[in-house]
Amino acid sequence: MVNEEVNIFNEFLKDKDGQLVDLKSYFYTLTSNVIARLICGQRYDYDDPEMQGLMKVLKRVFADPRVGLVDMFPKLKWFPLFSASVKEFIHNEHFVLNIVKKHWKRHKSLFDPNHLKDFMDLFRYEQKFGTSEEKAGFTDHQMEWLGADFFLAGAETTSTQLSWCLHLYVYYPEHQAALEKEIIEVFGSEGEVTQAHKARTPFLNAFIQEAFRFKTTVPLVLKHTALCNTKLLGFNIPKGTTLIPNFYAVHMDPTIWPEPEKFNPYRHIDEDGNFVFSSKIIPFSMGPRSCPGEALARVETYIFLAKLLQKYKILPGDKPPHIDGSTSIVYYPKPYKFRIEQR
């Protein structure tokens, strides 16, 4: 599905050849279509009104820095400066929720237990045929909010990470030749890109992993709560304490990463030219509460980036790209238009 979507995306970009393009806007459609196909078995055309509305909402939902502050300090939501941002966030959240509700209603009416096509069908199957104990968790409310979470969290973070990859690719031209050479050597100009090729693309893997480290998409992770009294690194943490992991600090720790402020993909390649996976780069969190979409996000980032660079030259626009970003819940690059040219 990921390959099919990026092939459609590359065809769509042909009409933009030689133009300045805000690629992140289209990344929302690209990632949302993968999620839509997984969740409800449907994709949208790029000019579909519902997809256009979803794109606008996804652009706004995590863009307001006040929302990020409220997430850290919930009582701020009662102050007028922040309450308006919270209301808009909730409005946008419910826009996505209503799209999911529509698809869920259709799935319930057309459900065929002998033909399970997507996540909603599987969920409906558990509703109807699971044990009484299992059924308690498979409510309509749960399905609707799960679907909304997939769109809100999955589309935004993957779109942002892809955008950072392109910003870094253009901002650091010294890495472009190695990346392009490897992609063409392994995949050719027309070949499909799959996970099976990963062992043959050490520099592409290293580039993506270094992008994950260098531009932490979610610097401060959503809040967690200590379930019991515990001690960590000599600190007493009482039960009920709110905990906010700082992934940015891990990714920029000079005791782990020499000169962490430098973007250097070669730090992830050993002396034999092999890619070295690092468990100390944790953009998806870690442990039992890590991001459930990690596997999908890694596949998307690898295939999207390889397929895009296989077909197009991504060039600077009228001015160099920004290397600094803006922070809300997500740390995202500032708006920028790349010039794209077919290879």
Mean pLDDT of 172-197: 91
Residues 123 and 131 sit within 8 Å (Cβ to Cβ): no
The residue to which tokens 């393009």 are assigned: 21
pLDDT in tens, 260-273: 999 999 999 999 99
Based on the number of CB atoms within 10 Å of its own CB, is 297 exposed (0-12), middle (13-18) or buried (19 or more)? buried
pLDDT in tens, 52-95: 888 888 878 777 888 888 888 889 999 988 999 999 989 999 99
Residues 60 and 88 sit within 8 Å (Cβ to Cβ): yes
Domain-wise residue ranges, the chain = 2-342
pLDDT at 5: 93
In angstroms, the CA 325 to CA 247 distance is: 16
- Chain-centroid distance, C-alpha 300: 9
Give whole-number Cα distances, 324 to 113, 312, 320, 336, in Å.
Answer: 50, 25, 12, 12
In angstroms, the CA 27 to CA 336 distance is: 13
pLDDT in tens, 196-237: 889 999 999 999 999 999 999 989 877 889 999 999 889 999
CATH class of residue range 2-342: mainly alpha
136 pLDDT band, cuts 50/70/90, is confident
